[in-house]
């Protein structure tokens, strides 16, 4: 059963990280070049229905995996605790960026403030890559 949970976790990560890399490397440069926030909004409209559930899948499966590996919350006494708790910190940061973008940037998005959203996209993508690094660290160490 734990293999299936791990596969679901990795699939969720693939969707989440892959979507953000595509947004950062393909759609964002075009939107900035053309000063067209509609490009980002169109991507978000199509990606969000699969991206957000993928993140939720990672959270649920991550909790199950943490329970399976007997992780201690807010403890940094071994590699597994450190890695898991660092992933929780990245998750909190991702949620904060997402809430800020969803409620404060996207509703007022225009060509003048597109750069602010670009920084959010970069940050969330880097956090996502951090998730991948930490996830691999469970098996390989740092």
pLDDT of residue 139: 81
pLDDT in tens, 44-77: 999 999 999 999 999 999 999 999 989 988 888 9
Provide CB contacts within 8 A for 124, sequence distance 6+: 20, 94, 97, 98
Domain count of the fold of the chain: 1
Task: Report DSSP state, residue 107.
Answer: G
Average pLDDT, the chain: 95
Residue 81, Cβ neighbours under 10 Å: how many?
A: 18
Tell me how far apart the alpha carbons of residues 125 and 101 are, in angstroms, rounded to a whole number. 14
| Domain span including residue 38 | 2-140
0.85 exceeded by the pTM? yes
Distance of CA 36 to CAs 54, 63, 108, Å? 27, 39, 13
pLDDT in tens, 14-26: 999 999 999 999 9
pLDDT of residue 129: 98
Phi–psi pair at 36, nearest 5 degrees: -125, 95
141 has a pLDDT exceeding 90: no
Residue 39, both tokens: 């490009």
Task: Report DSSP state, residue 35.
Answer: T
């Amino acid at each position: 059963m734990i293999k299936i949970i791990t596969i679901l976790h990795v699939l969720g990560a693939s969707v989440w990280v892959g979507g953000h890399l595509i947004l950062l490397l393909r759609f964002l440069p075009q939107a900035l070049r053309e000063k067209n926030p509609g490009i980002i909004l169109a991507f978000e409209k199509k990606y969000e229905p699969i991206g957000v559930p993928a993140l939720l899948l990672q959270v649920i499966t991550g909790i199950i995996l943490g329970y399976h590996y007997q992780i201690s919350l807010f403890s940094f006494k071994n590699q597994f605790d450190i890695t898991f708790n660092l992933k929780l910190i990245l998750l909190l940061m991702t949620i904060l960026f997402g809430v800020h973008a969803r409620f404060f940037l996207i509703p007022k998005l225009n060509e003048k403030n597109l750069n602010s959203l670009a920084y959010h996209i970069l940050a969330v993508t880097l956090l996502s890559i951090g998730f991948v690094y930490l996830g691999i660290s469970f098996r390989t160490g740092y």
